[in-house]
Amino acid sequence: MSIQRHDVTFETLSDETLEQWRGIPPAIVSDMMNRTQCMAGRIKPLKPGTVLVGQARTVTCMVGDNAALHALVALLEPGEIIVADGGNHPDVALWGGILTQAAMAQGAGGIVIDGGVRDVAEIADLGFPCFASSRVPQGPHKGFGGVIDGTISCAGAHVSPGDLIIGDDDGIAVVPLARQAELYAASINKIAEEEAAIESIKAGQTTAERMGLPDPEIIP
């Protein structure tokens, strides 16, 4: 089978816009999307404290095969985030140290993969942002095909090329590119609301009172 690529273009967000998003946690923006567009909890950063912000380049891999990832890395623009649907196959690493070095040479902003990675200590030492669903030493095959720059489902979240990928220790949220300005403004307001809530709690108000919950019924 062949490696295929969709012919797509998308708006490139400015460095200033991306830097603003760096202050928005995925938990906040997911709340603003009605608690949707979060990847499953199996997607975790290799290194605690990792923050990921950038626009997606997508790839669908054949199970156990990373040829399409090699092809995509050669096409990356600086700052772009690889988002790979590896089928949540946990026992073959589709990503490792060599691909990390290649991605860094292209200026990639990081990778999110619903699949396995290896060379974990090396990737962490390099400081390359990497989120994955498993860690395993067994390596991949190559040459069975894949699809680049299509709309994918990665760990339960829909991702199109150009969408904004937001990650931290909680995991990954995907912001549709067409909504990023609206959702950024909503997220800023949500952060202000939460800061006000914390101040009221410090002043003595309970969270139950804030939510208007009735007192628990007494069971005789």
Domain boundaries, the chain: 3-193
CB 174, CB 158: distance < 8 Å: yes
Q: What's the mean per-residue pLDDT of the chain?
A: 96
pLDDT in tens, 150-160: 999 999 999 99
44: confidence class by pLDDT, cuts 50, 70, 90:
very high
Q: How far apart are CA 105 and CA 68, in angstroms?
A: 18
- What pLDDT is stored for residue 3 in this prediction? 94
Strands 81-95 and 110-117: what pairing? Answer: parallel
pTM listed for this prediction: 0.94
CB 131, CB 167: distance < 8 Å: yes
CATH class, range 3-193: alpha beta
- What pLDDT is stored for residue 37 in this prediction? 97
pLDDT in tens, 68-109: 999 999 999 999 999 999 999 999 999 999 999 999 999 999
CA distances from residue 67 to 4, 140, 191, 195 in whole angstroms, order as listed: 11, 9, 41, 46
CB 54, CB 21: distance < 8 Å: no
Strands 164-168 and 171-175: what pairing? Answer: antiparallel
pLDDT value at 141 more than 80: yes
